[in-house]
Amino acid sequence: MADLEEKRARLEALELESKKRRKLVLISLCTLLVVGVVAIVLSTKEAIPGFDNKYSIGKSVNYTNKTIEMTEVNAEISNGQVKLSLDDLEKNKILYAMYDPNFDIGNNQKGLPVVAYLSPAGRVMVASSFCEPCYSRKFHIEGDVLVCNVCWTRWSLADLTGLGGGCTKYPPQELNYTVDKENGKIIINEGDLKNWKPRDYDASTTANMD
């Protein structure tokens, strides 16, 4: 009888230990999953709503196997504000608007345009449409990548991280903006554009082409 009770006690202890181990494994797997998701979000900056100040249209955009050229639009400029249509952006995915054709950007060249596009996560990205080393003002989307039309440098649509090409250090410079949801307008402070200046070009950063 004593041997039977002793065996039962050992079995119960083993079962309890097994349950503890399974629980620890499950907790570890869940922790790794959460850490992995957070790491992906932080590394790509494809944020959840409220993570940063980027406006989200509330849905993702599928660019798989797609090439999208810029759609040229006219910006509405008044009362110190430069406005683009949010509807136009949602429809066309990437917009080009000339802010000031007489803006001196150096090297005897003029014209400062802006670009607005939707990231794969549906966030509105607004920037000066300019690549300092090659003086390009035009870009297009290939898959989840923004590509310069002159030097073919590639940047991630998510956060403009350089992926390849000669001008990875010179993506379009992001601009602050607000969104007037009632009127469907993306609003840029005109003062930010008037005070915009090209970045100092360092030839050593474009010496190696991928």
- Residue 139 · residue 26 · CB < 8 Å: no
**Closest Cα partner for 82 from 199, 181, 175, 157?**
175
Dihedral of alpha carbons 58, 64, 65, 68, sign: positive
Q: Which of 49, 41, 42, 44 is nearest to 179 (CA)?
A: 49
Q: Can you give the pLDDT of all 210 residues of the chain as single tens digits? A: 555 566 565 656 556 666 666 666 566 665 666 544 444 444 444 544 444 679 999 999 999 999 999 999 999 999 999 999 999 999 999 999 999 999 988 888 899 999 999 999 999 999 999 999 999 999 999 999 999 999 999 999 999 999 999 999 999 999 999 999 999 999 999 999 999 998 887 766 665 544
DSSP assignment of 119-184 equals -TTSBEEEEE--BTTTTB--EEEETTEEEETTT--EEETTT--EEESTTTT-PPPB---EEETTTT
Q: Is the pTM for the entire model greater than 0.75?
A: no
Q: Which residue, among 180, 165, 73, 56, has the nearest Cα to 120 in the 3D structure?
A: 56
CATH topology of domain 67-201: Rieske Iron-sulfur Protein (2.102.10)
